[in-house]
Amino acid sequence: MKNNKGFTLTEILVTIILVASVLSSLLYLINIVKKEEINNKNTYNYEINKLKFIREIQNDLNQNDLISISDDILNKALQIKFNYANNNNSLLIVTEDKLSYIKANKEEYTWELKDIKASLCANFIYNKDSNSNNYYYKINIYLDNNDSIEISYSANNSNMQSDYIEKKIGACTN
């Protein structure tokens, strides 16, 4: 005579294994979604910080009459100095893990790089239109995530003697 009152041990074990397998897959997918959400948030924060940092520098450049740019390497930091006609200056300091900008009014803005390293080598381009006397500066500071911080500035008059300059500044190997 057959007992129809319950489940066999084998049926219970198979059910537990199937439920555990489904739950394991579900937890794995939830973990992937959480990691992707964190990655998207970090990317968003990176882009916002980058844009804020560039905006601070460009606003400072636009409020002052830039006459020259100089660079130096001190204490494992690339220092780019912006000199203005009113004898003020501002300073961009690049280390591997931090970018700092000391504005002409001496206010400081700092961006701590997380999981990214900045290069102590930058590319500087100066271009002057001899017909209109308009000029354009561009500085690219390279980051190890195949990105760069691009600081650009243009104005109507320039005291620079040359029409075009492109050079590496900082601790460049080539």
Q: What is the pLDDT of residues 25-78, one digit of tens each?
A: 999 999 999 999 988 888 898 899 999 999 999 888 888 888 888 888 888 899
Q: Are 69 and 167 in contact (CB under 8 A)?
A: no
* CB-neighbour burial class of residue 61 (10 A; exposed 0-12, middle 13-18, buried 19+): buried
Structure tokens at 119: 């290069």
| pLDDT confidence of residue 1 | 53
Main-chain dihedrals φ then ψ at residue 116, nearest 5 degrees: -135, 145
Q: Are 94 and 170 in contact (CB under 8 A)?
A: yes
Residue ranges of domains in the chain:
37-170
Query: Distance between CA 174 and CA 171 in Å, rounded?
Result: 9
Best mean pLDDT range from 124-133, 135-144, 156-165: 135-144
Strand ranges across the sheet with 148-155: 148-155, 135-143, 118-128, 164-170
